Structure 1
């Protein structure tokens, strides 16, 4: 991960921040965890198109989280999936929120979505990450330099030395393939690597941290659902290419022993001959 240890932006009480974040995750998981079906989900509305939707739950969860964070950390900025950005004090850290990452699954009664919450320094350095899975009752957490945890127990990326025979997670770019995705899928199929497209970026990425997936890739990195999971995976020992993507840039995560192989396939799929950075 990038070296920023001397940066004054990192002077944050991460223990208190994690306590508040964990309480919010428990509240959000309870709000999300209820049966839904296409027939009963009457609150679904389009945002930018049929594949980009929002529900009352997305908005209610984010509103509650923003209000709670505003009271607990009045100088911090907040960036949310549904309500955009709120400026903090100059040089202050900012929170990133995706209240329901995987809204399409949620709205159609498919039990694979997540609550994603993170904290970043003013320069973008990830400080804290949390991803909660309401359906399995799991919460992944990490603070910078402190390791990664699943329900309080340490987790590590898999010790696999190859992609062959293992799980690779990815996601569509909303409803579409991202550039290089088809090439990558073909390369993975040739290696008997089993690909899963589940419908929640945050939840897919943290499977690498848990050692369940050997690698994961997304075509466009969005901080509200990508930054918390990225930090958790890195704190679990996963290798990220790049270490911190810019907004909407691609991201690859891989277990250390399979990182060289994954990076080679990643580069080829994107038409690059040099080593991933």
Structure 2
């Protein structure tokens, strides 16, 4: 990792995301000719998921052969040396992609041991690169981003993920929606958790939460790094900033975090 002739890890991740994004753009514009197979209730894997993940792994491995991988499609590959794991969701928003909804992303994170240290969320249709390194800030392209001032609760636009079919806890989600809907300006469910979490750091959403929906580490890891480096508070709904599993999530401005956590925790 210290070879000066090799690109830094974050530059490699950004490059890998762009290459994968080119594949996804190709697939998006070819939608209708996509062959896809079911791999569970409302969960589809396409040729483009697998191809994008392969190109990410190949790109990172060429520059940093020692790292391990955790991919949504390929599973876990141990590190050759050290404890660095690259966490990949090659197509976050698969259902949007298949239905030609133009909201999906490439999401790549890094964990050093148990700590999330790098995050890249790339929206290929907009060519928008959001990225962060722990302790070095969050960026949109070359521009540093910070969480804007907190809005009053009644002015806040929130984002979430909702369960569907056999994935998640519908009663919990409905209780939380019932608690929040009368008190905020709006709630959105765009369909790419990595983007929504990162967008909370930009202030496009005032907060993101999820509990009823089932989210895996690759769905949230990169967005968490970006949101934290932009200035958001990020924990699970028990208030733990580093849970063993991200079974729930709250991303919010520090001035609104406590109020939202109390409301969500009390929802029944």
TM-score, normalized by the shorter chain, greater than 0.5: yes
State the number of aligned residues: 259
Q: 1:25-174 alignment to 2 at 5 Å?
A: 25-34=17-26, 36=28, 40-49=32-41, 51-89=42-80, 91-122=82-113, 124-174=114-164
SS at match of 2:208: strand
Deviation at 1:12, TM superposition (A): 11
Structure 2, gaps ≥5 residues long:
none
Whole-Å Cα distance in 2 between the matches of residues 25 and 257 of structure 1?
Answer: 33
The TM-score with structure 1 as length reference comes to 0.86
User: CA shift at 1:38, angstroms?
Assistant: 9.9
Match of 2:252 in 1: 254
Check whether the contact 1:116–1:225 (CA below 8 A) recurs between aligned residues.
Answer: yes
The alpha carbon displacement at 1:42 in A equals 3.3
Partners of 1:210 and 1:192 lie apart in 2 by 19
Other structure's SS at 1:79 match: strand
User: Which runs of no fewer than 5 residues in structure 1 stay unpaired?
Assistant: 1-9, 272-277
CA contact (8 A) 2:21 2:52 kept: no
CA RMSD between the two structures: 2.4
CA contact (8 A) 1:41 1:107 kept: no
Structure 1 residues 60 and 206 mapped into 2: Cα distance closer, same or farther (>3 Å)? same
Partners of 1:17 and 1:38 lie apart in 2 by 32
Distance 1:268 1:38, change over 3 A: farther
**Structure 1 residue 158, shift from structure 2 partner:** 2.9
| Contact 2:7/2:63, CA 8 A, preserved across alignment | no
* Alpha-carbon displacement from aligned partner over 1:11-68 (angstroms, at most 9, x marks no partner): 999970011111112112221124748971431111122x110110000010111122
